[in-house]
Amino acid sequence: MDNTSTATALTRTAEIVGYIFGLILAVVGLLNVMPAFGGLPRIGPFPVAQIHPGLLALGFLVSVAAAWTNAPSWKLPSSLIVLIDSLLICLAMFTLWRYFADVTTLENDGLFLFENVHAWVALSGCIVTLIYCWRIWGAPLAIVGSIALFYFFTGQFWPGIFEIPAIEFTQDVPNELWFNTGDGVLGNLFAIVITTILPFILLGAMLEGTGGGHSLIKLSFYGMRRFRGGPAHAAIMASSLFGTISGSAVANVVGTGVITIPMIMRRGFKPSFAGGVEATASTGGQIMPPIMGAAALVMADFTGIAYLTIIIAAIIPALAYYGSLFVTVVFECRRLGMEVGNDGIEMEPITPQDWLNAVLVILPVAVVIAALIRGASPAGSAILALGVLAILSLILNPSIRKQPWRLISALAKGGQTFGRLLMAVATVGIIVAVLGATGLPTEFAKVVSAATGDFLLPTLIFAAIASLALGMGMPTLPAYLTIIIILGPSIKALGLTDLGGHFFVFYYGVASAITPPVAIAAYAAASISGAGAMATAVQATRIGLVIFAIPFLFAYNPIMLIVAEGGAQWEWGAFLFVLVKLAVIVYMLASAASGFDKHKMSILESFLRVAVGLAAIHPEFSVSGGAIAAAIMIVVGHRLIGRSRQVDEA
């Protein structure tokens, strides 16, 4: 059998293996967090020494299967790759077995002495984790994790604030990196992810598997058929609804973009613009309540703020972002001279089943919100919604009744997604462990404070740039975690509220998915549209420009987040004024990015609109009020000039 045949057989085997271990991971993970329903006893939670290494072991196996599905693209012989992976997996299983055995001993006896072998076990576990993080998620996150690990061993030779005391190999390596149930790779962060995030990832997979995603797209096209942008507006609506559940910009682009991008192009938009619309809309799904992907759940655990509170705080910024996307498409339509109509674009007819499938999406999400309001945990709310979804899909969807195993397949797919995510989370665990052991974030905060003084603006600008740089190429969850761990103390030291600080870095972590040069969401969209990757990334940045301004607005105007923190008093007047400022910012920046309003604008006018939009962020009424007045004058002047031109042409 030649290498191609071997690779093909390996790919098929990998799909089966990934399916099996994904399903096992999903079931075990659910049993671990499932609350008691109807008087039935709880099965979990399982002991930390068992569930943490057990789920990570399944994550390794799922990741190997995912890597093997790319066998046809390998340059090395498949047999060699299989041999290398087999050795790495055996090493990973050994390190996890030692974690189980030694942490169990520590929990039972309360005393444990590390030996040289434990240090090598910890180092081996970290290296294998980094390898599979690179295999699954690409180089950026793995490089950051590798730098952190390298710094841990060589920090004594680094200059300035980076210098740390020399580590003691036998004691510090296992204690800080691997066997530490607090800040270690398998510590608190890992616990948050497997107890809180897993049910929501499974819920998203089930919602997609029951046909709700495709029906949402069809209904969005139907609802936007009378708008100028047509498919472009529909893509924005569909991606916002689907993205809040999926929690992954790239998955959202791939899931909805294969339908929306070709239709946007047929409407008359350039391929790069079509890809940019889908990339920005898919990226924004992670800031759209009520689910907001996985990172919002981690934010709730990190800050101690209720998940429901975070949902409420996210409403206005998310609506403003998607409003800006709608407005930008309107300006683009005006620039291209498009009128209302689909120009012969054929849309799939809406069937009664599509409306029923919409119920399969809306009702489980409503169950999550209702359960949270009644005091249920996020995990319990998601599991309850999972049960409701499974029952409703059997009742409302005939295809599920004919093929009920599709529910199991969706569960397995969610388990596979989570298993791959664990590679990223474990890598972030390495970073957390190193930063916690070295105290670098605290020292970093001191340096930033000394450099910026008591001024919030330069600190926020620095945090924004660093967040974009650290977030490039990473999934949103590890990007947000990495950023907030490093920059959180610096931002909080200048008086920003916990919620405002976390939201600030979260937004820029999300924005990194459309920011050149990496722009992973834009690159995914470019692969569908056929446009250049960098051209699509530039268009996505232009279309989504407002996402870079919104975090500064709620940093300086925290009332925008609705939720009062730090004893702040609620004021309707201040809140309404912030909404006016927000509308001005959206209109000014969106039109400036398009270079078009009622007619084409000069570069000077575009520059003035950007300046006025940014000035409206200022918390002082004298500045922001003046910016609003200037915006009104600019828009009125623009329209008067347009009418004058029409008269002259007539």
What pLDDT digit, counting tens, does each position of 371-402 carry? 877 777 777 888 888 888 888 888 888 888 88
Helix or strand (DSSP H, E) at 249? helix 249-266
Q: Is the pLDDT of residue 28 over 80?
A: yes
pLDDT at res. 580: 92
**Which residues contact residue 154 at a Cβ distance below 8 angstroms, ignoring those fewer than 6 apart?**
none
Place of tokens 């998955």: 251
Euclidean distance between CA atoms 568 and 470, whole angstroms: 32
Q: Shortest CA distance to 329 belongs to which of 591, 606, 639?
A: 591
pLDDT at res. 260: 80
Per-residue pLDDT tens over the stretch 523-556: 888 888 887 778 888 888 889 888 899 999 988 8
Mean per-residue pLDDT of the chain: 81
pLDDT at res. 585: 92
pLDDT at res. 352: 81
> Rounded to 5 degrees, what are φ and ψ at 596?
-155, 140
Mean pLDDT of 592-621: 88
* HEC-encoded secondary structure of 275-295: HHHHHHHHHHHHHCCCCCCCH
Sign of the CA dihedral 8, 14, 20, 25? negative
Q: Is the pLDDT of residue 128 over 90?
A: yes
Euclidean distance between CA atoms 315 and 311, whole angstroms: 7
> Rounded to 5 degrees, what are φ and ψ at 182?
-100, -80
Per-residue pLDDT tens over the stretch 262-292: 888 877 788 888 888 888 888 888 888 777 7
Mean pLDDT of 10-22: 82
Per-residue pLDDT tens over the stretch 163-188: 788 888 888 888 888 887 777 888 88
Contact 176, 184 (CB under 8 A): yes
Euclidean distance between CA atoms 85 and 354, whole angstroms: 44
**Minimum mean pLDDT range among 10-19, 36-45, 287-296, 475-484:** 36-45
Contact 561, 503 (CB under 8 A): yes
Per-residue pLDDT tens over the stretch 613-628: 999 998 888 888 898 9
Please indicate, yes or no, whether the overall pTM of this predicted structure exceeds 0.95.
no
Q: Is the pLDDT of residue 453 over 70?
A: no
Question: CB count, 10 Å around CB of 214?
Answer: 17
pLDDT at res. 57: 92
pLDDT at res. 299: 80
Mean pLDDT of 353-360: 81
Show the tokens assigned to 127.
């290296």
Question: How much of the chain exceeds pLDDT 70, in percent?
Answer: 87
Q: Which residue has the higher pLDDT, 493 or 127?
A: 127
**Which residues contact residue 475 at a Cβ distance below 8 angstroms, ignoring those fewer than 6 apart?**
137, 141, 248, 421, 424
Euclidean distance between CA atoms 629 and 134, whole angstroms: 51
